[in-house]
Amino acid sequence: MEKLQVLYDSWLAIFGPNPYLKALGIVLIFATFALIFNFVIIRFLKRITAKTSFKSDDHMLELVQKPVFVSLVIFGFVQAIHVLDMPENVVVTTVAVLKTIVILVWASFAIKFSRFLLKTISSRKSNTEARSQLIQQSTLPLFSNLALLLIVAATIYMFFLAWGINVTAWLASAGIIGLALSFAAKDTLANLFAGVFILADTPYKLGDYIVLDSGERGKVTHIGIRSTRMLTRDDIEITVPNSIMGNAKITNEAGGPSNKHRIRVKVGVAYGSDIDLVRDVLEKIANDNEKVCSLPEPRVRFRNFGTSSVDFELLCWIDQPVLRGQVLDQLYSETYKKFIEHGIEIPYTKQDVYIKSMPTS
């Protein structure tokens, strides 16, 4: 640092004792540094990043180029002002204005960088990563707004420091106002925090079929800050506050390692039926249905000796939970037809009425 200071002073000595010439020299020196950074260092780094397979580093150089260039130039002006013999209040005001410009430039950089970083993180295509990571396409607006609020708050704080304003009283007032607002909007805050926890824990995501503990079943169409929306099979949209969703027991039919969903076809046959034939018929019905997955293979289970029937259950998988109703309809219909075709009786409740004697006319 001492060698740099000696070199810096030797450069200023070229301009003689005149303070205005020294100030001009300082501005020219830092402007030269800024041009060297802009046209030499940045171009050299761009050549290096152009050889990489990542596009993020190229965009980062474009973002950081302007704030560094402006900062070097304005730092030169600040140093030049201190050389001039000017009143203290003029120096303080001018330096504060220059600092404000630098703060605005870096705040703009921070906003652009945060949006670029969040968009890069949320653009991952892997389904496993999408379920595990906190920042997703659906949560991107939330984190963008949070980042914007933090940057704006930090920028305002830097403004106060640049202009020499005591921030203690302002922070105390903000605390009192925040406390009053928290009591007035406790339900909204409960939904907000529950929404953040839902996004962090990811018990469900957009497109999942979920079943609430109250019995509603539908597809998740929107996960917002205040509420979650789901579309039922009747094309009715249900909006549930996040505070309720955060405390409810939710069955995610699309959860697990894949989106496949298992369905069960329960059927009873009469006692005396050929159970091997029943197994073969049910397995063939499942294998012949194009919407039933071949892996895992369909299977038939002998479940129970009922009061009037031998109970079987056909277990098979489908690709999406949304197909459950359609495939069940096809399987039940085909089971009824095939049982009639093979002479397999489906028992049903019968009542016999015995008349002890006919009434006399």
Q: Is the pLDDT of residue 130 over 70?
A: no
Residue 127 has pLDDT above 60, yes or no: no
Q: Are the CB atoms for 18 and 83 separated by under 8 Å?
A: no
CATH code at 169-255: 2.30.30.60
Nearest one of 316, 337, 338 to 327, comparing CA atoms? 316
Residue whose C-alpha is closest to residue 292's, from 265, 327, 254, 325: 327
Ordered alpha helix ranges (H), the chain:
2-13, 19-36, 42-50, 56-83, 88-122, 127-132, 140-162, 168-184, 186-201, 242-247, 275-288, 324-341
The token duo for 152 is: 């704006």
Q: Alpha-carbon Rg of the chain, whole angstroms?
A: 37
More confident residue, 116 or 349: 116
Q: What is the mean pLDDT of residues 313-327?
A: 92
CB 269 within 8 A of CB 276: no
pTM equals 0.58
Mean pLDDT of 311-316: 96
Domain coordinates in residue numbering, the chain: 2-168, 169-255, 261-341
Is the pLDDT at 254 greater than 70? The verdict is: yes
pLDDT confidence of residue 129: 47
Residue 15 identity: F
Q: What is the pLDDT of residues 196-242, one digit of tens each?
A: 788 777 788 888 889 998 888 999 998 877 889 999 988 899 999 99
Residue given tokens 């496993």 in the structure block:
128
pLDDT tens-digit readout, 60-91:
888 899 999 999 999 988 888 888 878 888 88
Is the CATH number 3.40.50.360 carried by domain 261-341? no
Q: Is 230 exposed, middle or buried (0-12, 13-18, 19+ CB in 10 A)?
A: buried
pLDDT tens by residue, 259-310: 788 999 999 999 999 999 999 999 999 999 999 998 889 999 999 999 889 9
Task: Say which residue, 186 or 207, is predicted with more confidence.
Answer: 207
Q: How far is CA 220 from the centre of its chain?
A: 14
Residue 131 pLDDT more than 50?
no
